Chains A and B, each alone.
Chain A
Amino acid sequence: MAEADRKQKGTTRRQFLSTTLKTACSVSLMGIGLGFYAQRANALPPLAIRPPGALPEEDFLSACIRCGLCVRDCPYDILFLGQLGDDIPTGSPYFIARTGPCEMCEDIPCVAACPTNALDHSLTDINDARMGLAVVIDQENCIAFQGLRCEVCFNVCPIRGKAITLDYQHNPRSGKHALFIPVVHSEACTGCGLCEKACILEKAAIKVLPIDIAKGELGHHYRFGWKEKEKAGKALVTPDVKHQYNLPEGVRYDLQGKGLIIEKKAEAPHAPPQDSPFSSNPLDTLNRKKGDD
């Protein structure tokens, strides 16, 4: 009787242990699977852009509870939630600049709606948002590089003249015209995507990319001499010896671009009534010795 009792107890304990172990093992397996799935599923495709104020992606994914209130409160209805089967983490908000860019509302209703600070409430000026960074990514197809006047991205930019400027360059094809090259400045660009939406090409030549993809990073050991010099207030290496030119009196040479400078002699009222002791072509003066010989 006692033995049978013990036997029965033993079986239940064994059963209990084996069920527990089985469950623990299968749940661990599921957990590992879910972990790997999470790693894959949590990657955001580069063209999907988070709403303004979104925390860095990893923090964003732990903070966003996928409620969709930002989607609801967006007055332009540009935001979507990632659906099952999309490449976007399930239920997390995003927009696609080419089809619906952020209109940069001053009151930022999407951020105000967020209950978990996944869209950072410390963002109060929409111009401080950094959703991404516009990049003129295809310079072969952007017609500005062909010398055509377009400037649509420059003109639609909500921070016109700061986030995108036009860089005038010589047009070597015609030899006499200018290229109006759009240049994006990361210190002002919010990544709203209005430029990408407005780009007149079939496929936009200017695209908003995640900042970490769009931006390079200087080697950390790198120092720019002129900046260090400015910081230190003096040259950090042996200063250059000032170059001596063999020039006639009243003539200086500026290495930095002005070239030859001819100073008028103010204290010579009795000098012969001529503008300069030299020919109008400075080369004549420079080559004078040769000619005199």
Chain B
Amino acid sequence: MANRPEDVGKEAVQKKGWFGAHKWLILRRISQLGILAAFGAGPWLGLWLVKGNLSYSLTLETLPLTDPYVLLQALVGGVVPETIALVGVAIVLVFYSLVGGRVYCSWVCPVNMVTDAASWLRRKLGIRGTSHASRSTRFWILGATFILSAITGSIIWELVNPVTITVRALLFGVGLAWIFILAIFLFDLLVARDGWCGHYCPVGAFYSLLSTWAPLRVTAANREACDDCMDCFNVCPEPQVIKPALKGAPKGIGPVILANQCTNCGRCIDVCAVDVFRFGTRFGNDPLIGAKVPDQIQTTGS
């Protein structure tokens, strides 16, 4: 019944067509590349729409956007920023609290394209082995970076942050950044599935925290149609978030994916041939949805 990881999305392509089975992926790539292009238009073409990078940017000389994680490390180091940086943080915090913090990971972050590529190649080559680091490691690292920022008085993660290093490499000059990016690619390909983004990246961990109360969610609204093909688990960068929503009906768990690690990438929606998933809100989380045996809900629910 279960499909092999190599065949992720094959059924979906057959049923929905190639575009139907890659809709959200294409939109995400447009978003990621579009943001890079908006940043790049200045240095590459002299068209200054957006100045700066993902740490802080100023769009059309008016709209400030500040990365809250970077600024928080600075605050821990004892910095009093300009008002414009705080306005930028407020805008970013409000936006991601609504759409889900890890939308940053899957719709903005350029490293996502690298790790997605590694993940894809890993499936195609049938590489199964993986290291067994805990997915909570990133939260420990997140905490450690704040402590280190306070001790060293510097924005510690910016020394090694692959996200901003990648963006700066494209906009301000490459240096040795490509080695760094290659290392992440190889690590994800050969050492650990979803290694960097799924286990270690504290930027993603920080945005996960912003995801906690976000209304915009993926929901397994049509979960009774699930035919256990496993495609969503194989393609998902955070597969642990799917199970409660998809298989939780007997335990009285609603169909909305509430785990804050979900990146709202929408790949599960794409690859599902029977359209179990769709984007929805956290409010449509009725445990009765997709529950096959009503009396079972009465015993386990409430």
Q: Considering the complex, which residues of chain A in the window 18-43 have a beta carbon less than 8 Å from any beta carbon of chain B?
A: 19, 22-24, 26-28, 30-31, 34-35, 37-39, 41-42
- Inside 8 A of B144's CB, which chain A residues have their CB? 27-28, 30-31, 34
- Inside 8 A of B158's CB, which chain A residues have their CB? 65-66, 90-91
Tell me the bound Cα distance from A19 to B133 in angstroms: 9
A-contact bits for B155-186, CB 8 A (1 contact / 0 none): 11011100011001101111111011000000
A38 lies within 8 A of B134 (CB): no
Say which one of B28-36, B145-153, B211-219, B227-235 lies at the interface with A.
B145-153
Tell me the bound Cα distance from A26 to B64 in angstroms: 37
B-contact bits for A107-122, CB 8 A (1 contact / 0 none): 0000001111110010
Tell me if A61 is interfacial: C-beta within 8 Å of chain B. Answer: yes
Q: Considering the complex, which residues of chain B in the window 126-151 have a beta carbon less than 8 Å from any beta carbon of chain A?
A: 133-134, 136-137, 140-141, 144-145, 147-149, 151
Tell me if A106 is interfacial: C-beta within 8 Å of chain B. Answer: no
- The smallest C-beta distance from A90 to any residue of chain B, in angstroms, reads 5
Most chain B C-beta atoms within 10 Å of own C-beta, residue among A22, A38, A65: A65
Most chain B C-beta atoms within 10 Å of own C-beta, residue among A22, A67, A72: A67
A116 lies within 8 A of B79 (CB): yes
Tell me if A83 is interfacial: C-beta within 8 Å of chain B. Answer: yes
- Inside 8 A of A38's CB, which chain B residues have their CB? 148, 152, 154, 156, 159
- The smallest C-beta distance from A259 to any residue of chain B, in angstroms, reads 61
Chain A interface size band reads 35 or more
Tell me the bound Cα distance from A35 to B147 in angstroms: 10
Tell me the bound Cα distance from A117 to B168 in angstroms: 21
Tell me the bound Cα distance from A90 to B171 in angstroms: 14
User: Assuming A35-B148, A42-B152, A65-B56, is B140 touching A23 (CB within 8 A)?
Assistant: yes
A34 lies within 8 A of B148 (CB): yes
B172 lies within 8 A of A69 (CB): no
Which single residue of chain B is at the shortest CB-CB distance from A60? B154
Tell me the bound Cα distance from A80 to B156 in angstroms: 20
Q: Considering the complex, which residues of chain B in the window 49-82 have a beta carbon less than 8 Å from any beta carbon of chain A?
A: 51-53, 55-58, 64, 66-67, 70-71, 74, 77-82
Which single residue of chain B is at the shortest CB-CB distance from A61? B154
B-contact bits for A195-219, CB 8 A (1 contact / 0 none): 0000000000000000000000000
- Inside 8 A of B148's CB, which chain A residues have their CB? 31, 34-35, 38
CB within 8 Å of B: which residues of A? 19, 22-24, 26-28, 30-31, 34-35, 37-39, 41-42, 58-59, 61-69, 71-73, 80-81, 83-86, 89-91, 113-118, 121
Question: 5 tightest A-B contacts by CB?
Answer: A83-B175, A62-B77, A85-B176, A67-B56, A115-B85
CB within 8 Å of A: which residues of B? 42, 48, 51-53, 55-58, 64, 66-67, 70-71, 74, 77-82, 84-85, 88, 133-134, 136-137, 140-141, 144-145, 147-149, 151-156, 158-160, 164-165, 168-169, 171-177, 179-180
